[in-house]
């Protein structure tokens, strides 16, 4: 497949672009190798897997890319990494990386999840399949390759970089605030015009979905059983005893039932919507622009569903997607979970849940409202374990980070849509909220899928010039740094 | 530990009793070996394990004990076994065996569950630990040893025997009705005065708990997800999508919530109590006699609880235990079930439930009411899978089976209580209901525990003469056959 390097006005702004592009191409084997080695080393906080080794590899990746210093920042959990690259430029950009990945079950994969093999992907080209391919190691490696290529061309970067990386993104960034709170890290970030996370943002037609923020996420578990009350047995007992002994699974059902309305999705926690801001006219307009029938068909197919909630039209479902806070059940586990039945009364029942929060809700508010809601209804035997979380983030459409993206896409002929926010979550609030109050965004081209699912993939070679493969994605990061430098300079004039 | 052979008037009725007791003692190694070999061959219908081999072993056990014929009866599931022993006696007794056992996880056992090792049991003596030790292979082997010993003494049995065995008791006897419906089997049973299952009925103080029937049991699963409606995804998807896609786990919670009242235990299925008969004065009297404080303390300790439902007194809790039909959650499973959380929207949610039924409820009635209840509330996307079940059974206190037990215990100085029914279940309704309408009971001494739990055990050598070990238990079956023959003869006079 031929490479389709971006050309156009944006490219013209990048000095020595052809030379840099040649370097990127020459780097390809090393870049792929670094990505494959990284995928072979999965850091999974939930499984206490590769915390130290993952942080160390992240640190070495930064130094290898050209950061002048990179250090491991210890936390009460998995360590973070902090690195800086001072180019003597007037503009500093913050970069956020996650080096951890979601859990996986190799039995569910058609290609070994840690081998990161290159496999054909239908008519789209060639994809790398592995855990972390798109979420988030692939885009991050492409960004590092961009820095490397600029430096290898003999030039300084047009901006200074401050990189902060964490290994607990997939458990809701439990200790990431500790990394950013280190004075040296905080002060370095405070000098930036904002922070972005590299992201493979293109859909099958090559359009990039820009976002102006993201929902917050809070993960928690509700637990009932012998460990929370002596009404329940300490170990599973014969089920005939339910005639005289309470069943913690019923208690869990009763508690859960109060959390959403009869429709099965509208949150019913007391005061839940108190601080939920309705969509603005601009946000509604952005959503309407995104609501295309062909995208709907593609999404329904990918998600394996026939209907949105309430069988609503796509536009309405997208308004829900971007504007509604949720209370989701991730999993249920109690008693016997094998094939068929087993006559036991369980000693323990657990529900795994998660909130998605929208502005101006906060993490602490959500947790406090949940606890108050349960206690008010007498569920003092239901233990609430909050395993991690953070609030939503929001970035202005006229911030340098965002105007630079729009300009780059327009000049390079890359179609884009702007969505009011990402319905998923990333801990941008750590930058976006006090004390830093920085713009925080996602940025990147390229295409992938299967985040959190089996057979996660990232397109490496694209058969469609509109959809960027690995090298074009890398060059777009190169171009972006120059556009940001130029846009920031304009503001200073 | 010295054997404490039963002596007294009942023993006097058994001819050549000393000789038979000697044979039982001499048989001990062979009896234990047969039990250990049987435990090493677990038939587990839910896991499709050892169906054919288990039936064959059951057949050989019967022939080895002295049954003149034993044959395998095919069913649509695990086969049954039918055996007869014609002594030319005037009285015929039916015997019911289960040759299957409950599932187990060896990791939870302190002694390998299939090795049936003999291990000390505190001050109680020596116990055999293995899956099926008490439920039900141990008591069944003791009964077979009794037949063997009488025959080895050169005598005919005082009664004719009709044995029916099944391999699906632990999945609610799904196909056992097919065994009993075979004309040859049905006609043989119809000639009996009733059917009993050998049971280790003694508590720690040596008192036997007689029962006058048992609750019925119906196992079923409720399933919601991509397989039941296109509102739900076909595979787990990223949890952010819950803002626009229904979650089958919430739907399951909403359906479950309607099945029991706010108290978390009272069944709330429409019309559930329509045919539930209240306790009679005699039944209440029997329960009051069983409600001893020392038994309560022992039971609470065994069950690992501090409180009965509603913190009620023991007598009330026992009335519930014996009289109340239940809707129990055996297990819940949906989405992510590992440690902590995982940001998925599950494609499937399943609840494993079970009814316990009391007279005059029937299995078909319970299933029909459940289905009507869910459909009335619009839960047409909740699939109901009934995996097995049967109704309750009840046997008159003045039947030969029961009066013989009372007489034997009284004459042998064995304390006993009579309980209106077993709160657990066995498919006595197959004998008790039409067309056979036979008395159906449990009978036996000896002591064990951990049915359906890890470290299931049966006391083999007892340090308390009031609590019977293996050989005394065997001799009690010998005595019982003679008492039944005598009681039945009285009725014929």
Per-residue pLDDT at A12? 52
Within 8 A of B318 by CB-CB distance, chain A residues are 244
Q: How many residues does chain B have?
A: 493
| CA pair distance A401, B293, nearest whole angstrom | 74
| CA pair distance A160, A201, nearest whole angstrom | 24
Per-window interface: B 104-133 vs A, CB < 8 A: none
Angle B80-B85-B87 from CA coordinates, rounded to 5°: 165
| CA pair distance A490, A484, nearest whole angstrom | 10
Instruction: Pick the closest to residue B444 from B229, B134, B131, B42 (CA basis).
Output: B134
Per-residue pLDDT at B378? 98
Arithmetic mean of pLDDT, A15-30: 97
Q: Mean pLDDT by 10-residue block, N- to C-terminus, for chain B (493 residues)? A: 44 85 98 98 95 98 98 97 98 98 94 97 97 98 98 97 96 91 97 96 91 94 98 96 98 98 98 97 92 91 96 96 97 95 95 97 97 98 94 95 96 92 89 93 94 94 97 98 96 88
Residue A147 has pLDDT above 90, yes or no: yes
pTM above 0.95, yes or no: no
Asked if residue B443 lies in contact with residue B201, where contact means CB atoms within 8 angstroms, the answer is yes
CATH architecture assignment, domain B9-212+395-492: 3-Layer(aba) Sandwich (3.40)
Instruction: Pick the closest to residue A276 from A402, A386, A369 (CA basis).
Output: A369
Chain B contact present for A324, CB below 8 A: yes
Beta bridge partners of B211: B419
Per-window interface: B 405-464 vs A, CB < 8 A: 422-425, 451-453
Beta bridge partners of B197: B442
Per-residue pLDDT at A452? 84
Superfamily of domain A9-211+395-492: Zn peptidases (3.40.630.10)
Per-residue pLDDT at B221? 98
Quick: pLDDT tens for A301-342: 999 999 999 999 999 999 999 999 999 999 999 999 998 888
Per-residue pLDDT at A426? 86
Instruction: Pick the closest to residue A406 from A203, A204, A205, A201 (CA basis).
Output: A201
The complex's ipTM works out to 0.84
Arithmetic mean of pLDDT, A153-181: 95
Taking the domains of chain A in order of start, what are their residue ranges?
9-211+395-492, 215-276+325-390
Instruction: Select the residue of A246, A320, A388 nearest B265 (Cβ to Cβ).
Output: A246
CA atoms within 13 A on the CB side of B21: 17
Chain B contact present for A368, CB below 8 A: no
Per-residue pLDDT at A3? 40
Per-residue pLDDT at B12? 52
**Model confidence band, residue A6 (pLDDT cutoffs 50, 70, 90):** very low
Residue of B nearest to A387 (CA): B340
Chain B contact present for A232, CB below 8 A: yes
Within 8 A of B245 by CB-CB distance, chain A residues are 303, 305, 308-309
Question: With DSSP H G I counted as helix, E B as strand and the rest as coil, what are the percentages for chain A, rounded to 5?
Answer: 40, 25, 40
Per-residue pLDDT at A11? 52
Q: Is A390 helix (H, G, I), strand (E, B) or coil?
A: strand
CATH 3.30.70.360 fits B215-276+325-390, yes or no: yes
- Residues above pLDDT 70, as percent of chain A: 98
Q: What is the DSSP string of B340-398?
A: S---EE-SEEEEEEEEEE-TT--HHHHHHHHHHHHHHTT-TTSEEEEEEEE--EE--TT
Instruction: Select the residue of A220, A243, A452 nearest B238 (Cβ to Cβ).
Output: A452
């Amino acid at each position: 497949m031929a490479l389709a390097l971006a050309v156009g006005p944006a490219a013209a702004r990048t000095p020595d672009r052809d030379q840099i592009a040649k370097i990127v191409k020459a780097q390809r084997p090393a870049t792929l190798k670094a990505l494959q080695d990284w995928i072979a080393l999965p850091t999974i906080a939930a499984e206490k897997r590769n915390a130290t080794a993952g942080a160390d590899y992240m640190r070495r990746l930064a130094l290898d890319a050209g950061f002048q210093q990179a250090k491991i920042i210890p936390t009460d959990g998995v360590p973070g990494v902090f690195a800086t690259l001072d180019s003597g430029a007037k503009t500093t950009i913050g970069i956020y990386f996650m080096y951890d990945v979601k859990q996986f079950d190799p039995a569910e994969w058609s290609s070994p999840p840690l081998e990161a093999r290159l496999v054909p992907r239908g008519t789209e080209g060639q994809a790398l399949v592995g855990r972390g391919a798109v979420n988030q190691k692939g885009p991050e490696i492409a960004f590092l390759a961009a820095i490397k290529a600029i430096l290898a061309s003999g030039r300084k970067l047009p901006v200074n970089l401050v990189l902060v990386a964490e290994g607990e993104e997939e458990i809701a960034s439990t200790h990431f605030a500790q990394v950013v709170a280190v004075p040296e890290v905080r002060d370095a970030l405070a000098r930036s015009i904002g922070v972005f996370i590299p992201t493979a943002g293109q859909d099958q037609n090559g359009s990039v979905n820009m976002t102006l923020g993201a929902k917050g996420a809070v993960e928690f578990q509700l637990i009932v059983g012998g460990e929370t009350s002596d009404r329940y047995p300490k170990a599973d007992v014969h089920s005939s005893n339910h005639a005289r002994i309470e069943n913690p699974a019923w208690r869990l059902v009763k508690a859960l039932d109060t959390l959403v309305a009869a429709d099965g999705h509208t949150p019913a926690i007391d005061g839940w919507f108190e601080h939920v801001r309705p969509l603005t006219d601009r946000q509604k307009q952005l959503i309407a622009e995104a609501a295309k029938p062909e995208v709907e068909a593609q999404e329904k197919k990918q998600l394996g569903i026939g209907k949105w909630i309430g069988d609503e039209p796509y536009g309405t479902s997208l308004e829900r997607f971007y504007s509604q806070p949720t209370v989701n059940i991730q999993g249920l586990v109690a008693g016997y979970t094998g094939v068929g039945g087993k006559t036991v009364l369980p000693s323990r029942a657990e529900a795994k849940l998660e909130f998605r929060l929208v502005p101006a809700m906060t993490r602490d508010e959500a947790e406090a409202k949940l606890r108050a809601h349960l206690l008010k209804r007498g569920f003092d035997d239901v233990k609430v374990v909050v395993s991690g979380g953070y609030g939503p983030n929001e970035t202005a459409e006229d911030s340098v980070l965002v105007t630079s993206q729009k300009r780059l896409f327009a000049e390079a002929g890359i179609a884009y849509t702007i969505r009011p926010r990402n319905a998923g979550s990333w801990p941008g609030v750590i930058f976006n909220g006090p004390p830093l109050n920085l713009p925080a965004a996602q940025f990147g081209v390229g295409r992938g899928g299967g985040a959190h699912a089996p057979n996660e993939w990232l397109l490496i070679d694209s058969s469609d010039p509109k959809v960027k493969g690995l090298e074009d994605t890398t060059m777009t990061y190169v171009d972006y740094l120059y556009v940001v430098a130029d846009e920031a300079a304009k503001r200073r004039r």
